[in-house]
Amino acid sequence: MIDGVDYGPLHQLIGTWWGDKGLDVAPEPDGDDKHAYIDQIIFTPAGAAENAEEQNLVCVKYHQLVRKRNKGTVFHDQIGHWMYEPSSGIIMHSLTIPRAVCVLAGGELQQNGDETIFDVAATQGSETFGVVQSPFMLEKAKTTAFKMTMKVSGDELVYEETTSLDIYGRLFEHTDGATLQRIVYD
């Protein structure tokens, strides 16, 4: 419990996480599609939320900064929330990137010993778990689907995500994967 709120499985995320072994496989016009990166994610409590006096959620917010390992320059900045509905067991992940793309992904939690697995997905056109993007992105770099698996065990967080894109005249599975360690408990 934090400030009287039971965050359920989300309590495992709270803190600052860091890792330097990330790999980004993203479409580039020059064909150099692989980039090693350094990753930092800060998860903070966001409290409880109630919808229409019927649905109760608990939420953590986060900010993720990703830097190219070879230059240290930021190439990805993402904010969002992880939400959990205790009555149904549904987990939701909302994210926004400053390229005018927003995603609301949903799924389920799994427990494997002391490891908690967060599995979420979204598809363009879905009325529930989907993708919203600007007209430019729809025309030039359309996101058609998103899926993420995040595994947390103690002070280790491992994630793999795939963003399906229609970009540069081709279909591409943009993948990111990293292992992070919790360096600060908040």
| Other C-beta atoms lying within 10 Å of the C-beta of residue 89 | 12
What is the rounded distance in angstroms from the CA atom of residue 124 to the CA atom of residue 135?
A: 14
- Cα–Cα distance between 58 and 9 in angstroms, integer? 10
Phi and psi at 125, nearest 5°, equal 95, -10
- Residue 2's pLDDT is 82
Going from the C-alpha of 183 to that of each of 5, 34, 134, 138, 150, the distances in angstroms are 23, 27, 36, 38, 18
- Is residue 11 classed as helix, strand or coil in its secondary structure? helix
Average pLDDT over residues 68-76: 86
Q: How many CA atoms lie within 13 A of 63 on its CB side?
A: 1
Dump pLDDT digits (tens) for 8-65: 999 999 999 999 999 998 866 666 678 899 999 999 999 999 999 999 999 999 999 9
Q: What percent of the chain has pLDDT over 70?
A: 97
The first and second tokens of residue 186, run together, are 């908040």
Element (H, E) at 140: helix 135-140
Question: Hey, what domains does the chain have and what are their CATH numbers?
Answer: 8-184 (2.40.128.20)
Furthest-apart CA atoms within the chain: distance in Å: 52
- How far is Cα 121 from Cα 107, in angstroms, rounded to an integer? 6
Give pTM, 2 decimals. Answer: 0.92
| Cβ atoms 31, 168 nearer than 8 A | no
What is the tens place of the pLDDT at every residue in 120-147? 999 999 999 999 999 999 999 999 999 9
Question: Cβ(8)–Cβ(177) under 8 Å?
Answer: no
Contact 104, 96 (CB under 8 A): no
65 closest CA partner among 54, 49, 55, 76: 76
